[in-house]
Amino acid sequence: MKVTVVKGKASEVKADLLALGLPEGKAALKGEAAELDSATGGAISAVLATKTDFSGKAKDRFTIVPVSGIQSKRLLMVGLGPARGVDAEVLRKMAGAAVREAVKVKASSVALLAPSAGTGKMKAQETAQALAEGAGLGGYLFEEYRSGERKLGPETLGIVSGTAAVARSMRAGATAGEIISESVALARDLANHPANVATPTMLAKRAESLGKKYGFKTEILGPQQIEKHGMAGLMAVSAGSSQPARFIVMRHTAARGGKPIVLVGKGLTFDSGGVCIKPAENMERMKTDMAGGAAVIGALTALARLKVRTNVIGLIPSTENMGGASAFRPGDVLKMSDGQTIEIINTDAEGRLVLADALCYAKGLDPAAVVDIATLTGACMIALGVYASGLMGTDERLMKRIEAAAKATSERVWRLPLWEDYFEQIKSDIADMKNSGGRPGGAITAAMLLSKFVEGLPWAHIDIAGTSWSEKETDLVGKGATGAGVRLMVELVRSWSGRP
């Protein structure tokens, strides 16, 4: 979907569907909305007068078709809720709702009229970014494996701007929003692909092709290099699979240089649980155990395209966790590359092992900060459900930066404690630590293990076990992979470095 900023009156825009966002209350018909109502001979105010068909509440939708007095074929009214609450997330949902409606009615072109009421705190550039982001998120479709007729999204999206000056401000925001939503779609695609397609080798090749296209460097470590680096966790977890492991390194180098921000994503392309095999029910979802790695690929792609001013390195340890004849076992002891040892209690607690390898590797990069993101524990989903990701870490300033990025993107995070007391649960009788401390505080004890491999570094861990997948459709996501974390990480780095 190509995004443009259209200068002029909304009534003169030619589109298959024109969407107008309206807040609750008498203030709804102001500015451009009032002009549009006048052009339609009062069609909008007539709908508002009913107070039943449409009142501007967040879930309200009403389509006028056919509609006279304007160039567009149909007019969609989208409720925004209270005017004082109209923010970037509300605009994202407005745009997402419009594009999802366009898919239903097979509209190939969509135009959006940004509401003027209640958005005084938002600059034109921010408004355009929110609308472009929301349109891309809401219009995402994954139809690759359907043999019959496939759904099609709109080809073009026009964001209506009244004046040339506003249009100029909006274009940069629209471009950023388009890039970011495309990068989220990339992460969703990778996680939605079945595990027989999205193998570690496929992830590595995709990262390489994206690097060549958008100008970031990639380095792929195969089994021999992984062994040379002493990545005991990645070697152990991959031992039971016929798919060779890959350690993916992506580097975005900025002109002004400086210490890099390192983003680490868990890349388990399928997790059977290994010898400690998972229950059969819902095991097909374990193709998404690489959602953290997919998010890092998406984020690096977006940051390179946006030409951020900070050096960024993405690390993805990628493998399958299978129960083949060579699979690692409960009771095994692994010696990690930094010399620490881990006793294996549960082979289904494998993500923290491959992430520990990546964190050891990150320490050698002299980073400004390290952030890892992973579908790490079912315990986090039990604690927080599907509406927030778990956040733990060792650096207060970094944690606050992540929370600010989460607020800006509405990719919510919630802090969990990381007190040293929790280490008692993962103390081993024969090694430095064990890879599972049991069910109590499972998300925290997993993060506690990771913390032992980044001591001395600003580090944070984001557990997206609950937020990486959606079982229902909303304005911004369909059923399936959500691309959780891409927008948060992009916002974190952009706000850290200053937007170009």
Contact 497, 310 (CB under 8 A): yes
- Is 72 in a helix, a strand, or coil? coil
Q: Rounded to an integer, what distance in angstroms lies between the CA atom of residue 479 and that of residue 85?
A: 27
- Is 453 in a helix, a strand, or coil? coil
Q: Which of 435, 123, 397, 431 is nearest to 276 (CA)?
A: 435
Selecting among 205, 278, 285, 412, the annotated active-site residue is: 278
Q: Rounded to an integer, what distance in angstroms lies between the CA atom of residue 350 and that of residue 329?
A: 11
Contact 157, 135 (CB under 8 A): yes
Selecting among 93, 100, 287, 352, the annotated active-site residue is: 352
The four Cα atoms 301, 303, 305, 311 give a dihedral, to 10 degrees, of -110
Q: Which two tokens stand for residue 126?
A: 């921010």
Instruction: Based on the residue annotation, tell me whether 205 is a catalytic residue of this protein.
Output: no
Q: Which two tokens stand for residue 261?
A: 């921000």
Task: Name the one residue in this structure whose structure tokens are 């937020």.
Answer: 467
For residue 374, report the phi and psi dihedrals to the nearest 5 degrees.
-160, 150
**Helices (H) and strands (E) in the chain — how many of each?**
14, 20
For residue 459, report the phi and psi dihedrals to the nearest 5 degrees.
-140, 145
Instruction: Based on the residue annotation, tell me whether 150 is a catalytic residue of this protein.
Output: no
**Cα(first)–Cα(last) distance of the chain, in Å?**
24
Task: Name the one residue in this structure whose structure tokens are 């006279």.
Answer: 68
Write down the H helix ranges in 306-416.
351-363, 378-384, 396-409
How many CB atoms lie under 10 A from the CB of residue 427? 12
DSSP code of residue 339: S
Write down the H helix ranges in 410-485.
442-451
How many CB atoms lie under 10 A from the CB of residue 49? 11
Catalytic residue annotation: 278, 352
